[in-house]
Amino acid sequence: QVQLVESGGGLVQAGDSLRLSCAASGRTFKSDTMAWFRQTPGKEREFVAGIRWLAVNTYSTYYTESVGGRFTISRDNAKNTVNLQMNSLKPEDTAVYYCARTYHGDSRSPNDFHSWGQGTQVTVSS
């Protein structure tokens, strides 16, 4: 059983930065793919960024097009954390952000992720 807890959300202005963190506890694996999703009321949960294991101490990252160049996902296996650095935030980035875990490679589908955090609210004002 893996528990994920997000933190770092808040209210910022357009153009500002935020750093989200996800702390994992329980049975965690360095080879798992970790990802961030986001969701707004009335919409489906949307993939934002993922980081997947390739080899020992080697990972690759992948992003949805709308955040490419602005968001950076990273992980610290020693601390069992996954971070999302968000720069140049836009009002359309406003959402609840969720951390998730899967063993399905570079999946972007929420249906493939089997562990979820409770979410953290990010609000970007114009």
Note the pLDDT tens digit of each residue in 75-111: 998 999 999 999 999 999 999 999 999 988 889 999 9
Please name every residue paired with 11 in a beta bridge, in sequence order, or none if there are none: 123
What torsion do the CA atoms of 10, 64, 109, 21 make, to the nearest 10 degrees? -30
Decide if 50 contacts 41 (C-beta within 8 A): no
Q: Is the pLDDT of residue 28 over 80?
A: no
